[in-house]
Amino acid sequence: MSKQVTGIAVGGAVNFREAIEHELEAGPEDHSLYSNQTLSHVSFGQYKQALEDAEETVELWPHWWKGYKKLGNAYTGLRRYEDSISAYKRGLEFDHGNVALRQDLGIAARKAGKLSEAIAYESDAIKLAPRNHLLYSNRSLSFASSGEYEQALEDAEKTVELKPDWWKGYKRLGNAYTGLGRYEEAITAYQRGLEFDPDNKELRQALANAATTAGQFRKAVKHESDAIVLVPENHSLYFNRSLSYASFGNHEQALEAAEKAVELRPGWWKGYERLGDAYTNLGRYEDAINAYKRGLEFDPQNIALRQDLDNAARRAGKFREAIEHESDAIMLAPGNHSLYCNRSLSNASSGNYEQALEDAEKTVELKPDWCKGYIILGSAYKGLGRYEEAIDAYKRGLKFDPQNIALRQDLGNAARTAGKFREAIEHESVAIILAPGNHSLYSNRSMTYAFCKKYDQALEDAEKTMELKSDWWIGYSRFGVACLGLGRYEKAISAFTTGLELHRIVAPEAGKYMETIEHESDAIKCKLWNHPIYMYYHRSLSYSYLGKYELALEDVKKVVALQPDWWKDQLVVAVSLCATTMLLLCLHALGGVTGWNCLHALEGVTGWK
């Protein structure tokens, strides 16, 4: 056997190093040997050597189309797609009807981002070889890449028709269905492909992705796990599995998968975003902040990470830090409405309602048909005591989405705070009709009925609240308030005590409360809140959760002292009512009030008759 033939045979056996050695031993002037060497180098990923051999081939035999094909393949391996396209076109000058050249030309054009050109080249090739399944597969990919999923589907179906036992045809079919939002059919297509190649990594990954996109998160976890067995070093599989776990509330395992994704690809910002999200869902906001900051080290201009970072800081109660991150993000993307929305929320949370209003107005200006913009606009107005404008803002938002529950809920809250109890009840009742299983809506209406002194209705809604959400402490608070109004003081104290115990179960650990108290004390010293009763009220809550009832009682008394005629001032009525509840709880915990003494304590400290 000649050395040339031996080289080809070895190359066909995929022993490319040995093939190259055989070919190097052959005569230096044979252009076909250089061509074979090029093939061997390309197959081994040695594209620079492949390019040198291809150039030698073209130089020795400038009219041979195959030399230009090898040259184009070498350029493609080096990602020099424009040079690839030129090489393939040069080859077509010597063999105009060559299907292989047109096929490679389409691939190079697609990789260069010239999708319309790629489709044109692939269409020409199909005219020359209408039974070639590879050509339809390639054109399906090009159509999908350009977002033309209907055409991609047609070509994928043709691919499967021509080659029904080829796994890649089913992958193309699944991808087209996914692009069309037909996820169930995509899943079926990928599963059909796996019947012909059960261990195919690409199909396993695609199947897991389709299940995730379809919202079938539990199935997605199984498919992702199957794919991980085949490709244990693929970071994106762990990323997707983390997302799937998070989607059905399994946040601990979501964290494990996110940590693995970061371990496998430590320089990928998206991995840190997923890690931060997992920490956020677990209430570990400091860890979340650190994760997002780590991601920003790899992509400092990333807006999504900056948004996540400010959200975590806000949830951690670090409002100033959140505002700093949001301001940095706004400098990078001054036309992004959601950034102004987030900063408005942070400003409102820190009591800076004027700044919150400015950002809310900017949000609405940038995105006038976005309901959330009107929600934060109304909240800013409400914080400033401008209730009529708050009500108007919520109503404006409802013009764009009449069935928006959040808007109707906030509208009811604003009307109640403005003393428009009948209007508040109307809005809350409409919201309940739209979402009859929403416990917070009954809770709100119960509070409004209590303000109207309609305690029987308040009690009914409080009972419905507890029926829908039996472990929610606020439901017991509403029940207790209704019982107070009806003179059922023992039941009121029992309800308030149960509510406080429930809150302790779901509340953060003691260390978090100590940190919260520090922030609240700083806010009191710096007078960060527009209305000081809020500062003392929130700190009283934190003290009570730690069981420090004496300190909690002192702060509650300050609330009452700052606003002795609270029932007349609708701005603070909700906080004062909660403060009254806290007062009763504190006195009860200290042994200072039981049963009928509750009413006298209430009257003596608050003046509430």
Q: Which of 40-54, 106-120, 303-317 has the lowest mean pLDDT?
A: 40-54
270-277: long-range contacts at Cβ-Cβ below 8 A with a sequence spacing of 24 or more? 270/239, 270/295, 271/235, 271/239, 271/295, 272/298, 272/305, 273/304, 273/305, 273/308, 274/239, 274/242, 274/243, 276/305, 276/308, 276/309, 276/312, 277/246, 277/308
pLDDT category of residue 598 using cuts at 50, 70 and 90? very low
Cite the beta strand spans of 424-543 per DSSP E: none
Residue 325 tokens read as: 């991150």
* pLDDT score of 306: 93
Tens-digit pLDDT profile for residues 387-429 = 999 999 999 999 999 999 999 999 999 998 888 999 999 999 9
- 3-state SS of 512-553 is HHHHHHHHHHHHHHHCCCCCHHHHHHHHHHHHHHCCCHHHHH
Tell me, what DSSP letter sits at residue 130? T
Higher pLDDT, 461 or 499: 461
Tens-digit pLDDT profile for residues 507-519 = 445 556 676 777 7
Distance CA(555)–CA(560), nearest Å, equals 9
Domains present along the chain, CATH in parentheses: 507-606 (1.25.40.10)
Instruction: Give me the chain's average pLDDT, please.
Output: 83
Distance CA(287)–CA(271), nearest Å, equals 14
Residue 135, helix vs strand vs coil = helix
Res 385 pLDDT > 90: no
* pLDDT score of 261: 96
Nearest to 424 by CA among 443, 437, 411: 411
Q: Give residue for tokens 């390639």.
A: 138
* pLDDT score of 592: 46
Q: For a pLDDT cut of 90, what percent of the chain falls above it?
A: 56
Nearest to 444 by CA among 402, 419, 486, 475: 475
Mean pLDDT of 328-355: 92
pLDDT category of residue 501 using cuts at 50, 70 and 90? confident
* pLDDT score of 13: 40
* pLDDT score of 52: 83
pTM summary value: 0.64
* pLDDT score of 587: 52
Tens-digit pLDDT profile for residues 439-494 = 999 999 999 998 888 999 999 999 999 999 999 888 998 998 888 888 887 888 78
* pLDDT score of 530: 54
Higher pLDDT, 2 or 69: 69
Tell me, what DSSP letter sits at residue 26? S
* pLDDT score of 9: 39
CA distances from 404 to 55, 363, 414, 466 (A): 66, 18, 16, 24
Distance CA(226)–CA(215), nearest Å, equals 18
Higher pLDDT, 14 or 62: 62
Q: Give residue for tokens 């419905």.
A: 464
Tens-digit pLDDT profile for residues 532-541 = 666 777 787 7
Res 5 pLDDT > 50: no
Residue 17 tokens read as: 């190093």
Q: What is the DSSP string of 354-407?
A: HHHHHHHHHHHHH-TT-HHHHHHHHHHHHHTT-HHHHHHHHHHHHHH-TT-HHH
Higher pLDDT, 520 or 100: 100
pLDDT category of residue 374 using cuts at 50, 70 and 90? very high
Are the beta carbons of 412 and 427 closer than 8 angstroms? Answer: yes
Res 117 pLDDT > 70: yes
* pLDDT score of 545: 66
Tens-digit pLDDT profile for residues 37-88 = 555 555 666 778 888 888 888 888 899 898 899 899 999 999 999 999 999 9
CA distances from 496 to 115, 395, 559, 567, 595 (A): 66, 35, 19, 21, 13
Distance CA(542)–CA(430), nearest Å, equals 35
- 3-state SS of 211-274 is HHHCCCHHHHHHHHHHHHHHCCCCHHHHHHHHHHHHHCCCHHHHHHHHHHHHHHCCCCHHHHHH
* pLDDT score of 595: 37
What is the number of other CB atoms lying within 10 angstroms of the CB of residue 147? Answer: 9
Residue 186 tokens read as: 């995509």
Are the beta carbons of 65 and 94 closer than 8 angstroms? Answer: yes
Res 506 pLDDT > 90: no
N- to C-terminal Cα distance for the chain?
A: 111
pLDDT category of residue 582 using cuts at 50, 70 and 90? low
What is the number of other CB atoms lying within 10 angstroms of the CB of residue 405? Answer: 16
Kindly provide the b/e burial profile for residues 216-252, where b requires at least 16 CB atoms within 10 angstroms of the residue's own CB: bbebbbebbebbbebeeebbbbbbbbbbbbbbeebbe
